[in-house]
Amino acid sequence: MVISRLIVLLAPLGLAACGASTRSRVTERSDDRPQVADSVSAAHAAVDLTGSWATGSTGEPEARRVELRLQCNYTPALWILEQSGDTVSAWLLPESWMQGVASPPPTTRVPAKGRLSGVDLTLEMSGGRYVLHYDSTSQHLRGTLNGAPFWAVRRDIIHPTGCIPPP
C-alpha cells in the first residue's frame, strides 16, 4: 500500500518531467492543440472512511461513534470499509459463532466497490448501490441503499477479555 501511494505521489512528477522538451519555440507555437483533460477526478477524497461502521435505515444515533462490545465466541454482522486514495471497498460480514466445531470454509465475499469524491461516496455491488454523503459535523454517512434511506456511524469494537476458548 505504501508503494502504491508513492507511485500516486510520484506519477505527476514523472508526467511533468516527460512534458519538458527541447523543442524550439517555433515548434511549440505550431503545436497549439488544446490539451486533453486528465481522466483523474479533480475532487480528491476529503476524509478517510476506513474502519467498522454501524448501519441502519431508521433510528440513527446522535453520537459520532458507537461502541460494540463483543461477547465471548460471538461476533455480530459487521460493515467494514477500506479506503485507498479515492477507492473504497465495503464488506458486509455475517455474524459468526466460535463453537469448537469446524465450520465450512467461508464463501468468497466480493466487496462493494466505489469511489469517494470529496465527501460523496458511491458504492456498487451485485444487487446493491449505495449513494452516501459524509457529514463532517456528525461524522456520519447518510444517503441511500438502493433508493431506501441508509445511515452509517463509525463503530469502535471492544474485544472481551478472559474468554474461555471453545472446546
pLDDT of residue 156: 94
Q: Give the 3-state secondary structure of residue 145.
A: strand
- The full set of domains in the chain, from first to last, is 42-98+109-160 (2.40.128)
Mean pLDDT in residue range 126-152: 95
What are the pLDDT digits (tens) for 54-104? 999 999 999 999 999 888 888 888 899 999 999 999 998 888 887 777 777
Question: 88: which 3 cell numbers?
Answer: 473504497
Q: At residue 38, does pLDDT exceed 60? A: no
pLDDT of 4 > 70? The answer is no
Reported as type and span, the H/E element at residue 120 is strand 120-125
Closest C-alpha to 112, from 88, 131, 136: 88
